[in-house]
């Protein structure tokens, strides 16, 4: 796969870096940068949005049902900050998706983007919901929940290796009229994560632990970007540096990336599908609990706790990796994920020289 992409002109010298996840007008891009740099958050801090009503999920039509799980707060959340964040996300997506150049439904997507989207939406007909999964955003645990709800697993704590295909129904396997019905009548949700944190998590997991990724992607990355190793048959792909990984991402078409580092926007197309709720990895427990009560899941179904062996990406770790990148690489990388930062209200990382010294 990597060789095909390289042969088709995705080399560093002839890469499609000018192609973003979608064509964005200059005025729209300016708005995106303002949002991504925390402009709306600054407005809130200065009291410019103090009249804002408590947020509700997109498409919910107003009040949210009260949670059935004791001790939890409504709407994915908790405190006022989380509710404000949800409202920022909702309003930003609504505003951005009104632009003429943005897709307004799944049928306006080109075939490749529509295929990617439909292959990432899981269906549950009994509880009438659609879940767009994003790798590295707790999607394995959500798949466990779906398997419990459809009776394939007894409970979320069953100790088995996750099969990401079996006992799951994907929207891509349904007929167009069946797809339209579910998009219209089912509760739709997805979960997002700070873009660079998700990227680093994918890098550490796939190139540090998964041999198949090392052989499939790592070997090609090293041969492509490490001087003197292009013809080295001994390359194993298990020592890809973060900078080499970023160079590879810059030369990739966002629409053809591996799902683990494809932008969240491309995976779930929030302009083509009006999600009723967009939860976040940063507030995973409360947001997941809200979704479970919203779909009417049985009280014994809980979102799985993180495994004890799991090592999350910390703020300090992310800071170290981003600051270790040449500034030129980082400046080129951020636009690749600008819609993820902007639409989902994540501020751009501060990686100025002065900031990186600390």
Q: What is the pLDDT of residue 176?
A: 97
The structure tokens 């466990």 sit at 144
| Cα–Cα distance measured from residue 338 to residue 172, given in angstroms and rounded to the nearest whole number | 27
The string of DSSP letters for 16-42 reads -TT--SS---HHHHHHHHHHHTTHHHH
Query: Are the C-beta atoms of 277 and 57 separated by less than 8 Å?
Result: yes
Boundaries of every domain in the chain: 22-195+274-315
- 132 has which bridge partners? 121, 190
The answer to whether 212 and 330 are in contact (CB under 8 A) is: no
- pLDDT (0 to 100) of residue 163: 66
Q: Alpha carbon 74 to chain centroid distance?
A: 23
User: What is the C-alpha separation between 183 and 84, in angstroms, rounded?
Assistant: 27
Q: Which of 196, 190, 132, 139 is nearest to 336 (CA)?
A: 196
**Can you tell me whether residue 83 is helix, strand or coil?**
helix
The encoded tokens of residue 79 equal 């405190």
Position 320 scores a pLDDT of 94
Could you tell me which residues are beta bridge partners of residue 122?
Answer: 131, 170
Looking at residue 155, its pLDDT comes to: 84
How high is the mean pLDDT in each 10-residue block of the chain (358 residues)? 39 41 42 45 38 37 37 52 83 90 94 98 98 96 94 82 81 97 98 97 95 95 85 82 97 97 98 95 93 95 78 90 93 95 92 71
Contact 271, 105 (CB under 8 A): no
Positive or negative, the CA dihedral 207, 213, 218, 224 is negative
């Amino acid at each position: 796969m990597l060789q095909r992409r390289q042969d088709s002109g995705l080399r560093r010298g002839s890469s499609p870096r000018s192609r973003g996840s979608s064509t964005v007008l200059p005025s729209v891009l300016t708005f995106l940068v303002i949002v991504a740099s925390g402009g709306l958050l600054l407005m809130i801090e200065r009291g410019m949005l103090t009249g804002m009503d408590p947020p509700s999920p997109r498409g919910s039509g107003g009040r949210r049902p009260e949670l059935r799980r004791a001790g939890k707060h409504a709407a994915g959340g908790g405190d006022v900050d989380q509710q404000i964040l949800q409202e920022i996300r909702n309003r930003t997506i609504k505003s951005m998706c009104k632009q003429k150049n943005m897709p307004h439904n799944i049928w306006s997507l080109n075939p490749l983007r529509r295929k990617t989207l439909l292959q990432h939406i899981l269906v549950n007909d009994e509880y009438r919901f659609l879940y767009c999964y994003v790798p590295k955003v707790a999607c394995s645990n959500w798949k466990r929940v779906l398997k419990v709800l459809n009776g394939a697993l007894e409970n979320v704590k069953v100790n088995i290796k996750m099969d990401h295909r079996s006992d799951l129904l994907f929207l891509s396997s349904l007929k167009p009229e069946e797809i339209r019905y579910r998009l219209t009548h089912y509760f739709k949700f997805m979960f997002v994560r700070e873009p660079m944190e998700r990227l680093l998590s994918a890098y550490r997991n796939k190139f540090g632990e998964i041999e198949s990724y090392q052989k499939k992607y790592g070997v090609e990355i090293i041969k492509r970007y490490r001087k003197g190793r292009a013809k080295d048959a001994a390359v194993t792909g298990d020592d890809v540096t973060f900078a080499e990984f970023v160079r590879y991402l810059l030369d990739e078409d966002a629409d053809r990336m591996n799902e683990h580092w494809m932008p969240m926007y491309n995976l779930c197309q929030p302009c083509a599908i009006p999600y009723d709720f967009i939860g976040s990895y940063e507030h995973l427990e409360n947001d997941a609990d809200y979704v479970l009560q919203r779909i009417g899941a049985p009280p014994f179904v809980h979102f799985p706790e993180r495994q004890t062996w799991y090592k999350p990406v910390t703020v300090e770790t992310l800071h170290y990796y981003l600051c270790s990148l040449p500034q030129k690489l980082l400046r080129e990388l951020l636009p690749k994920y600008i819609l993820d930062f902007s639409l989902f209200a994540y501020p751009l990382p501060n990686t100025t020289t002065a900031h990186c010294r600390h």
